[in-house]
Homo-oligomer: A and B are copies of this chain.
């Protein structure tokens, strides 16, 4: 990997997501060598991926070059690498570009889509965890409308215009709302020779409410907003399969749909060598103590989605969202410096800053620790917070311009099939 050997302790961070970047920033200008490994050369702002899928934003405006984050940090090395294994005996990380020894290891590998072992669903449904996946979904949605124009078979046409979103968490809810706005504002103009009123948007939730992690009020209001936008919300229904044509459920209900988005769950992206039963816990996450140390190790840490911090308020671990990841990254940065100096570390305490989701224009729900509100003001708060957490002035400007434009013009201009997905899949 061509990483120089220095007198500083070497910290390897696996993953440049919210957790990894927050940690890296804390370690800048310290007497440590940091090697950050990621499969991508960019940090990707996952909360806005659904806007990429629905043509509201360019992918480039929610991604930020990792090298640019690190550019003023001495003793930092980024490598574009896929970590395949961690050898805890020799303290070595094994990757597709070679092996590297570490003094300290921080696993911030994030999470991936959880298909719960259903290979059909994995094969035929769309996920929305990465930028290429989001772009594939964007292509598929648009390709399906182009195909709907061509067929004279009513069932086929309806299936091409039927969207099934499995999972009523923030991702599913935000995507459904965006699709509903496309149905209303864009499709009738773009496809005058198609009866776009027959477009169906379905959200299927296995439990009795959507946005489960939020307040009852937020959940109810989000459902109201979705229904006002014409989205069908199905509760207490579990999807059992999707064979590329038909979605089956644990009830008599089935859906004929050409587009199924699987937003029903994520699981930790466990790395070989750190997959021992004693610390892989619920959701495929690494059980860590209050210092984010993986059980049994003092020099191996986990932060972000992959880490399950024991916390009485969250018996299933902290939510797999940006806030816990950022807070853990920052705290671990401070702790590692204490550890290296031989001082006692400080336990991680999660500060719940709340949660929010947007359903459509002037329609969002916000749960802050002290206030809960819904509607237009919530929507402004949602936009402000998301702009604030985006990395980079240019990204913020471009996203802001797009949002203003989309709001004023009821438009989403990035509805471009730049890399066709459907044809590729057929081959």
Q: Which residues of A contact B (CB under 8 A)?
A: 1-2, 4, 40-42, 58-61, 63-65, 67-68, 71, 77, 79-80, 97-98, 131-132, 135, 142-143, 146, 149-152, 189-193, 392-395, 397-398, 401-402, 405, 409, 411, 413-419
With a cutoff of 8 Å between Cβ atoms, the chain B residues found around residue A398 in the complex are: 58, 398, 401-402
Given A397-B401, A398-B402: A149 touches B79 (CB 8 Å cut-off) = yes
| 7 residue pairs from A and B, CB less than 8 Å apart | A41-B142, A41-B417, A59-B416, A68-B413, A132-B419, A398-B398, A398-B402
- Contact between chains at B150 and A2 (CB < 8 Å): yes
Q: Within the complex, what minimum Cβ distance (angstroms) separates A123 from chain B?
A: 20
- Contact between chains at B397 and A71 (CB < 8 Å): no
With a cutoff of 8 Å between Cβ atoms, the chain B residues found around residue A98 in the complex are: 150
With a cutoff of 8 Å between Cβ atoms, the chain B residues found around residue A146 in the complex are: 41, 79-80
**Chain B, residue nearest A192 (CB):** B71
Contact of A59 among B1, B193, B392, B418 (CB under 8 A): B418
Report Cα–Cα, A251/B335, bound state, in Å: 62
**Chain B, residue nearest A132 (CB):** B419
Q: Within the complex, what minimum Cβ distance (angstroms) separates A28 from chain B?
A: 13
Given A68-B190, A189-B71: A60 touches B401 (CB 8 Å cut-off) = no
Q: Within the complex, what minimum Cβ distance (angstroms) separates A62 from chain B?
A: 10
Report Cα–Cα, A312/B65, bound state, in Å: 51
Q: Within the complex, what minimum Cβ distance (angstroms) separates A327 from chain B?
A: 27
Given A77-B193, A150-B97, A191-B67: A416 touches B60 (CB 8 Å cut-off) = yes
Q: Within the complex, what minimum Cβ distance (angstroms) separates A404 from chain B?
A: 9
With a cutoff of 8 Å between Cβ atoms, the chain B residues found around residue A393 in the complex are: 405
With a cutoff of 8 Å between Cβ atoms, the chain B residues found around residue A405 in the complex are: 393-394, 397
Contact of A63 among B65, B149, B402, B418 (CB under 8 A): B418
With a cutoff of 8 Å between Cβ atoms, the chain B residues found around residue A77 in the complex are: 193
Contact of A71 among B143, B151, B190 (CB under 8 A): B190
Contact of A58 among B58, B68, B392 (CB under 8 A): B58
- Contact between chains at B41 and A80 (CB < 8 Å): no
Report Cα–Cα, A413/B393, bound state, in Å: 10
With a cutoff of 8 Å between Cβ atoms, the chain B residues found around residue A151 in the complex are: 2
With a cutoff of 8 Å between Cβ atoms, the chain B residues found around residue A411 in the complex are: 394
Given A41-B146, A58-B58, A65-B190: A131 touches B413 (CB 8 Å cut-off) = no
Report Cα–Cα, A402/B42, bound state, in Å: 18
With a cutoff of 8 Å between Cβ atoms, the chain B residues found around residue A413 in the complex are: 60, 64-65, 68, 392, 394-395
Report Cα–Cα, A397/B411, bound state, in Å: 15
Report Cα–Cα, A149/B81, bound state, in Å: 12
Q: Within the complex, what minimum Cβ distance (angstroms) separates A147 from chain B?
A: 9
Q: Within the complex, what minimum Cβ distance (angstroms) separates A45 from chain B?
A: 12
Report Cα–Cα, A68/B416, bound state, in Å: 11
Q: Which of A71, A152, A409, A418 has the most CB of B within 10 A?
A: A418
Contact of A42 among B63, B68, B392, B418 (CB under 8 A): B418
Given A71-B189, A77-B193: A42 touches B417 (CB 8 Å cut-off) = yes
**Chain B, residue nearest A143 (CB):** B80
With a cutoff of 8 Å between Cβ atoms, the chain B residues found around residue A2 in the complex are: 149-152, 193
Q: Within the complex, what minimum Cβ distance (angstroms) separates A328 from chain B?
A: 26
**Besides the contacts A41-B142, A68-B413, A398-B402, what 11 more A-B pairs have beta carbons closer than 8 Å?**
A1-B150, A2-B151, A40-B416, A58-B61, A60-B414, A67-B415, A71-B190, A97-B150, A131-B418, A394-B402, A394-B411
